[in-house]
Amino acid sequence: MNEIDMNETARVRRLLGEPPPPSAEASARALARLEEAMAPGGRRVRPSRAGRRRFGRPLQLGAGLVAAGAAAAVAIVATGQGSPGSAPGTPPASVDLGRQAVLVAADKAAEQPTGNYWSAERLSGQAYVVRARTGTYAIFGAHDETFFWAGAKKGMGEAYYSRDLPARPQTPQDQALWRKAGSPSDIRVWSNDHFYTYSTKATKWRSEGPEVGVDPEGGGEFLDKSVEELRNLPTDPARLAAMFLEGEMERAGGLDPNSKRPRAEALRMSPAQTATLKIMRVSALLGTPLPPKVRAGLMKALAAQPGIHAIGHVTDPLGRRGVALAAGDRDVTVTAEYGTPKDEQGTYRARQTIVFDERTGALLSRQYVLTRPGGPYARMKPGFVIEYQAVRAAGWTDAKPKPPAELPF
């Protein structure tokens, strides 16, 4: 058997095999807070300068993915809907072509070049429903963009920037209804436990790092590891899963896996909740300057996790089409607690999704998507994006990067 045939055989084995389920201790007390914070209406809080200065620290729960304070806005009831596994020794009816497409994308990621500087540009947005007299439409608010670059070696520098993006209608239909409502430049919505007004105007880039904007001594440390240590990370998906999706995931949730606390004190997570946290964890890790083969290994590790499903091709909030993995969907119930208006109350279903570029293996987005309308999204359709973080651009270059002057839309 030649090397190509061996690689293809290995891919098929990855599709047919099913890794063991996570241990009971994989439950993390902070996941409940995380899920609540991702509920509709959460207003993001930008990480502190200290939080942005090192890639590892703000990434523990997803690099700014969580809308802060939403737990005070609504009462959440989440029910996991994990997919039951087949009986041992039972062959699958067919090869999962969606999962195969993700594995091929991972192989593409392993081929990407490196350079002297890493940079990443990310967009974040939260959905809000505007119930105007002239018609209901949806917008993205709490809209912001971040950009950072760092040299591969100590002394090459690093810098961090952010800017507010305009609140805007989500689709052409939403835009038409926004115009019918008079094209308001300030849009008032229910956010958290109060009404909040979002502007349709952007701000300029502002430094989120050192006062001078660039730290000349920066660079050379990512995830609290040197470049050499990053290069020595394993590329094997199973070893990466053990490092970042098991014990490391527990530490991300604030629970020490080496603790001697009784099991009863650990918060049990459903398969769908566990899968959700793993998607968010991998999305955060892929936003850092990991070596290409490590990135590929993480993608394959995620694709092999219990409760993670390949869902084929998906379009992200920037209109880019890619191949996607998703967690199981869950019921989310919004109650009248903290004064939530009646129109915002009710139950809907949604799931966490991660999307990759099929040609390069690059991370395109992580998005929280409606699967069954209800509650605040009763008039929306399945596929409606409730919250997202999209990577507009990321990668290595030999020239020192600069924040883009033009707006993304």
Q: Is residue 111 within 8 Å of 359, Cβ to Cβ?
A: no
Burial of 287 from C-beta contacts in 10 A (0-12 / 13-18 / 19+):
buried
DSSP 215: B
Domain containing residue 180: 3-81+93-392
| Across 90-119, average pLDDT | 82
3-class SS string, 257-322: CCCCCCHHHCCCCCHHHHHHHHHHHHHHHCCCCCCHHHHHHHHHHHHCCCCCEEEEEEECCCCCEE
Task: Assess if residue 402 is contained within a domain.
Answer: no
Task: Assess if residue 406 is contained within a domain.
Answer: no
Measure the CA–CA gap between 172 and 401, rounded to whole angstroms: 33
Bridge partners, 396 (sequence order):
118
Measure the CA–CA gap between 312 and 323, rounded to whole angstroms: 5
Predicted TM-score (pTM) above 0.85: no
DSSP 170: S
pLDDT of residue 34: 46
Task: Assess if residue 88 is contained within a domain.
Answer: no
Q: Is residue 244 within 8 Å of 298, Cβ to Cβ?
A: yes
Residue that has been written with the tokens 């090459």 in this structure: 156
Q: Is residue 159 within 8 Å of 102, Cβ to Cβ?
A: no
Task: Assess if residue 176 is contained within a domain.
Answer: yes
Measure the CA–CA gap between 75 and 94, rounded to whole angstroms: 41
Task: Assess if residue 331 is contained within a domain.
Answer: yes
Question: Does the pLDDT of residue 406 top 80, yes or no?
Answer: yes
Question: Does the pLDDT of residue 95 top 60, yes or no?
Answer: no
Task: Assess if residue 343 is contained within a domain.
Answer: yes
pLDDT digits (tens, 9 = 90+) for 123-159: 999 999 999 999 999 999 999 999 998 888 877 888 8
Task: Assess if residue 407 is contained within a domain.
Answer: no
Choose between 122 and 88: higher pLDDT. 122
Task: Assess if residue 400 is contained within a domain.
Answer: no
Count up the domains in the chain and report the number: 1
